[in-house]
Amino acid sequence: TQLLEQSPQFLSIQEGENLTVYCNSSSVFSSLQWYRQEPGEGPVLLVTVVTGGEVKKLKRLTFQFGDARKDSSLHITAAQPGDTGLYLCAGRTGAGGTSYGKLTFGQGTILTVHP
């Protein structure tokens, strides 16, 4: 069973601060995705990283995929109250067997940004 561990589980910060969320696994994933979810809604895709060592930027968000494709991080610069939500990492299973392409989610990081 492939597991993804996210840390921290909870993050409460002031507007303007920087933060990093980590996603770690002992398994290799063919790609890793980050989602943001608001209460009562489904997760919304932020980014997909595919290549080991890849870095992607989305405005104030920076995503990195580990060289061995087992871990990833999400860094937010100058957090704003609108960034508040549940952040989820999800690894996509690689080739081989019927699980190919299945997403396995971490337990999530609940981020609260106070004005």
Partner 1 sequence: DTGVSQNPRHKITKRGQNVTFRCDPISEHNRLYWYRQTLGQGPEFLTYFQNEAQLEKSRLLSDRFSAERPKGSFSTLEIQRTEQGDSAMYLCASTLWAEPANYGYTFGSGTRLTVV
Q: Nearer Cβ to partner 1, position 3 or 78?
A: 3
72 counts as binding partner 1 under rule CB under 8 A = no
36 counts as binding partner 1 under rule CB under 8 A = no
33 counts as binding partner 1 under rule CB under 8 A = yes
Which of 57, 60, 102, 114 is in the footprint of partner 1 by CB under 8 A?
102
Residue 34: both structure tokens together:
């980050």
96 counts as binding partner 1 under rule CB under 8 A = no
At 72, which amino acid appears?
Answer: S
- Nearest residue to 4 (alpha-carbon basis) of 104, 111, 109, 102: 104
30 counts as binding partner 1 under rule CB under 8 A = yes
Which positions from 3 to 22 touch partner 1 by CB under 8 A, shown as an x/- string?
-x-x----------------
- Where on the chain is the footprint of partner 1 (CB under 8 A)? 4, 6, 30-31, 33, 35, 40-45, 48, 50, 86, 88, 90, 92, 98-99, 101-108, 110
